């Protein structure tokens, strides 16, 4: 059983990574960082020898990391989108479904109600899943920083506004871009909720929000929801229960 030895679960996304430890069948969040280099350095100090890894981003970096870890004696499992019990793909080519999106649904596949999952990261995504783990489909759009970067990259005079704006209207171009992108992000979520209502024929469902970009949302404007910041790691835990 996978509980028999210490196991690290690692989610490596487009712009950051985070890790959790499985201890007595419980998920214990333990660290995060910004790139593969910091992940390599952090792993050098870890006593755990078994790693369950999910990566989104540069494939060459992922392959190199796995090779390095194997050479250093780690028992490593790289999780990729595949078939798993109690989950039904809607994609005709399931391997094209991002492993991060898939894992958020794997974590929630046994819920007693349908679920809508909004993951606010480098990209913002919506996925809707019916009872029994039936994926109905989803949306993908640029996340908050990616929206800003797409605009400021066209001008040498602009930069991404890294601080939360203090006004309703921007008093600089950078601040105006930040406010506009935050409004677009909010609009995505509100439209996603309306769409989930329609697709599910207005039957009750559970709404889950995850990802670091949730902090840019006006949560008070949204219907009842659950914040699950480590939902991908929860999916890795569910995968490990079934596969190890």
- How many Å apart are CA 149 and CA 158, to the nearest integer? 10
Does residue 60 sit in helix, strand or coil?
A: helix
Q: Please, what is the angle between helix 36-43 and helix 59-71, to 10°? A: 10
Looking only at Cα atoms, what is the longest distance across the chain? 58
The strand pair at 206-210 and 115-120 is best described as: parallel
Set 100, 110, 119, 127: catalytic member = 100
Residue 127 annotated in active site: no
For the chain, the straight-line distance linking the first and the last C-alpha, in angstroms and rounded, comes to 6
Residue 100 phi/psi, 5-degree rounding, is: -65, -45
- Number of Cβ atoms within 10 Å of the Cβ of 242: 11
Catalytic positions, written as ranges: 100
């Amino acid at each position: 059983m996978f509980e028999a030895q210490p196991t690290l679960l690692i989610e490596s996304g487009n712009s950051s990574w985070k890790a959790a430890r499985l201890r007595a069948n419980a998920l214990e969040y333990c660290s995060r960082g910004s790139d593969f280099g910091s992940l390599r350095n952090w792993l050098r100090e870890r006593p755990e020898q078994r790693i369950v890894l999910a990566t989104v981003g540069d494939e060459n970096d992922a392959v190199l990391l796995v090779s390095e870890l194997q050479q250093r004696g780690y028992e490593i499992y790289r999780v990729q989108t595949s078939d798993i019990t109690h989950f039904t793909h809607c994609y005709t080519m399931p391997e094209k479904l991002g492993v991060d999106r898939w894992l958020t649904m794997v974590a929630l596949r046994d819920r007693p109600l349908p679920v809508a999952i909004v993951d606010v990261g480098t990209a913002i995504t919506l996925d809707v899943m019916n009872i029994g783990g039936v994926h109905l489909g989803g949306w993908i759009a640029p996340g908050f920083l990616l929206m800003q970067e797409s605009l400021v990259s066209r001008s040498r005079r602009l930069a991404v506004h890294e601080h939360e704006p203090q006004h309703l209207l921007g008093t600089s171009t950078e601040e105006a871009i930040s406010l506009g992108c935050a409004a677009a992000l909010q609009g995505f979520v509100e439209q996603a909720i309306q769409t989930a209502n329609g697709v599910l024929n207005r039957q009750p469902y559970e709404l889950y929000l995850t990802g670091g970009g949730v902090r840019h949302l006006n949560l008070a404007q949204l219907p009842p929801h659950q914040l699950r910041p480590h939902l991908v790691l929860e999916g890795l835990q569910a995968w490990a229960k079934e596969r190890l």
